[in-house]
Structure 1
Amino acid sequence: MCRNIKTLYNFDPPATEDEIQAAALQFVRKLSGYNSPSKANEEAFHQAIDEVAQAARKLMDTLVTNAEPRNREVELERARARNAQRFGSN
């Protein structure tokens, strides 16, 4: 599950709220062991997602770097090349 969490900081354009929410969801799923919680745990599960997303947004808003923002398309191509080398191309 957590392998799907992508680096969101220092990209142009910046990470969207949906991307941060998706990363928070993956993180809470990993911690809880639930893909989707039972009715008894649903409120706590969703509250945790919101709190993790808020913390992630706060972190990203306060981090400082002198590095140039990374280009999403370039990073996507690099990932594809790594995957092709690792798993072979179809």
Structure 2
Amino acid sequence: MCRNIHALHNFEPRATDDEIDAAALQYVRKISGTNRPSRANQEAFDHAVAEIAHATRHLLADLVTTAPPKDREVEAAKHRERSARRFATA
């Protein structure tokens, strides 16, 4: 999984449209192998991002869980700590 795509399900507050769009963009960039499509491919690229964002919104709306929602700040702190350990200099 691409490191820039993060879980969006079961958070409080819920994932924003911007977060969903950013995840869709990262996904399309990853599978297309390009950060910036050529003019010839721009329309297909943008369409793919919109379709994936649309499907993601439906997925997040339909998922069910009994687990309590995760706190965004707590999860962000865990990610920062893990990153600090991973990239710490000896």
For the aligned pair, the TM-score class normalised by the smaller chain equals: over 0.9
- What is the letter of the counterpart of residue 12 of structure 1? E
Alignment of 1:27-42 (within 5 A): 27-42=27-42
Alignment partner of 1:66 is 2:66: yes
TM-score with structure 2 setting the length: 0.93
Shift of 1:88: 1.8
TM-score with structure 1 setting the length: 0.93
* Count of residue pairs brought into register by the alignment: 89
Shift of 1:77: 0.9
Runs of 5+ in structure 1 lacking a partner? Answer: none
Alignment of 1:47-86 (within 5 A): 47-86=47-86
- What is the letter of the counterpart of residue 31 of structure 2? L
- What is the letter of the counterpart of residue 28 of structure 1? V
Identity over aligned pairs, percent: 58
- What is the letter of the counterpart of residue 37 of structure 1? P
Flag as ranges the 4+ runs of structure 1 deviating above 2 A: none
Q: Give, in whole Å, the separation in 2 of the partners of 1:16 and 1:53.
A: 11
Match of 2:9 in 1: 9
Runs of 5+ in structure 2 lacking a partner? Answer: none
Deviations 1:31-72 (A, max 9, x none): 111111001100000000000000000000000000000000
Say which SS state the counterpart of residue 39 (structure 2) adopts: coil
